[in-house]
A and B are shown apart, each in its own frame.
Chain A
Amino acid sequence: MSRNRRRLFFSAAARGGIWLMAAIALLPLALVLLHTVTNGLPAALSVNFYTHVERPVGIPGAGVSHALTGTLVMVGIASLLAIPVGVVGGIHLVEYGGGQLPRGIRLAADVLVGTPSIAVGLFVYAIAVAPFHHFSALSGAVALAVLMLPIVLRTTESAIALVPNGIREAGLALGLARWRVALQLILPAAAPGVLTGCLLAVARAAGETAPLLFTAFGNKFYTLDPTRAMSALPLIVFHDALTPYEDLVRQAWGAALLLVALTLFTNVLSRLALRRQIALAGGQ
């Protein structure tokens, strides 16, 4: 009897311990979210925040619309650059992956993932900003694309590698050329993993500040012209958060909240896409 009671006690204690650990792990996340929301909400609740651009300190009605569109434009261009190359490269790594070249590509991608993003920014500055003597959104997008590429490449590779070999063989046995098997059969079967990788890369790029510092540089005015300097949400946070002006600090918190919301949205989107794809592949 008492042994049983002891067992129940230990079971309850263990369960309590697990809950505690989970809570501790979630605590920083919760604090960050809470802090960002409470500090960011005052700015983010104003309509001007989304429709206006920066204003001199003291003049009300400032906004970050130029940074919001800047982030969208640059991440958009970066995606157009990085995703096709990364996905096709990832397929290539699996389907034709035996030789020296693929091994080199894999190594390069792994090194690139670990490269400090500021170094990437400097590199792009050297090749895409300095020669033209002016900052541009395009160079910012290139820097972001360099950061996205290895993520897309490697996640695509692992998603493709998970597709059962039987599908590959069945496709070939129907007379398909290898590249058609890869694009028409393997890629769709791996779509959820590939998509998740792309969205991860997008979320990473949207939050990056360092690579934009000396490429897109930032701009106090609204522009959609990718050949000009452009602002982005992380740049607003970076520039405004440390100023002594309460207005600007509030703007920075608002921009941070917007960034977090965008990232969350991207993540939810990837979950939804994943579920739909699984439903498609898994039947019913």
Chain B
Amino acid sequence: MVARPQTGTPTAGSSTVSPHLTALEGAPQTLVSVEGVSFWYGKRQALNQLDLAIPHRRVTALIGPSGCGKSTLLRMLNRMYDLVPGSRTAGRILFGGEDILATRQLLELRQKIGMVFQKPSPFPMSIRDNVAFAPRLLGWGKKRINDAVERSLRDAALWDEVKDRLSASGTSLSGGQQQRLAIARAIAVGPEVILMDEPCSALDPMATLKIEDLMRRLVETYTIVIVTHNMQQAARVADHTAFMLMDPEHGYGELVEFGNTTDIFQKPKDPRTEAYITGRFG
């Protein structure tokens, strides 16, 4: 269904069907490896010593109470924190043999690791130009760009709705359509990873279900990391789930537990995870 030029990365189980299959048994490959990572906003430490192996072509969810550092971790994966003056990192995040935290090739990195935000924020230009934006940036030829636009919109399950009005403004779409446009925009240059920070929190239930369906199809081709406050959503779409929590003493976020989504939700090892899942705090 999701067609894309293959990136040559070996794949363990790209024909994943069941959202809840026990991925660890299938021995999924690690695509992004977070090793001993800490983060500071100025003097304030926001993350402490995180270790996380993000599996290839799976959906990994980051859950936890507000302020525990989910967005911070997600933004470390494509270096969006570079914008924050005075920020500092420790540890490393390996991706394709390179340390994301140390690389100087930001354009390349962000080509490979795309991002979708809570607010879709279409650019003030046509639907076509929104999707073609990144390919143009890379200087692709006309034919290649047109193909990329169609493929991305198809992959984002938006093509049928907009194919007759590609020249209409991106802002003329509904909220759910705008979010799918944002996904199309992010996958236009063929990334390997898509980061999503609460992509459905501004959408109605129908639009949310559509995006969730989409994620299950996209994960045949892409690796997805999603931050969500919606526990049912994590249970529905994620193969793996990481539970984070703020250390009450130091005020920084920590990883409490990481595992298969079914395990996290049905037999959590840590009592704090269980408390959070069952709604006793957070």
Contacts and interface: CB of A to CB of B under 8 A. Distances in A.
Contacts of A185: 123-124
Nearest to B114: A173
Interface string A54-80: 000000000000000000000000000
A258 B110 CA distance: 55
Interface string A150-193: 00000000000000101101111111110010000100110000
Given A170-B123, A173-B78, A283 B169 contact: yes
A281 interface: yes
B233 interface: no
B192 to A, nearest CB: 14
Contacts of A283: 168-173
B182 interface: yes
A110 B208 CA distance: 48
B125 interface: yes
Contact of A175 (B85, B111, B120, B170): B111
A244 interface: no
A169 B80 contact: yes
B185 A170 contact: yes
B186 interface: yes
A111 interface: no
A170 B173 CA distance: 17
A184 to B, nearest CB: 8
Interface residues of A, number: 22
B117 interface: yes
B119 interface: yes
B106 A175 contact: yes
B32 to A, nearest CB: 16
B27 interface: no
Interface in B107-123: 107-111, 114-115, 117, 119-121, 123
A2 interface: no
Nearest to A164: B121
A94 to B, nearest CB: 13
Given A173-B110, A173-B114, A175-B110, A280 B134 contact: no
Given A175-B137, A176-B137, A280-B169, A188 B125 contact: yes
Interface in B63-114: 78, 80, 83, 85, 106-111, 114
Contacts of B125: 188
B276 interface: no
A98 interface: yes
B40 interface: no
A174 B85 CA distance: 20
A100 interface: no
A284 B170 CA distance: 10
B241 to A, nearest CB: 24
A262 to B, nearest CB: 31
Contact of B169 (A166, A172, A284): A284
Contact of A174 (B168, B169, B185): B185
B159 interface: no
A282 interface: yes
A98 B85 contact: yes
A284 B80 contact: no
B41 interface: no
Given A173-B114, A175-B111, A284-B169, A167 B134 contact: no
Contact of A166 (B106, B110, B117): B117
Interface string A74-98: 0000000000000000000000001
A189 B124 CA distance: 6
Given A173-B110, A174-B110, A282 B171 contact: yes
Contact of B115 (A167, A173, A282): A173
Nearest to B115: A173
A281 B121 CA distance: 12
Nearest to B182: A170
Nearest to A99: B85
19 contacts: A164-B121, A166-B120, A167-B124, A170-B117, A170-B185, A173-B78, A173-B80, A173-B114, A174-B186, A175-B134, A176-B137, A177-B107, A185-B123, A280-B124, A281-B171, A282-B169, A283-B168, A283-B171, A284-B168
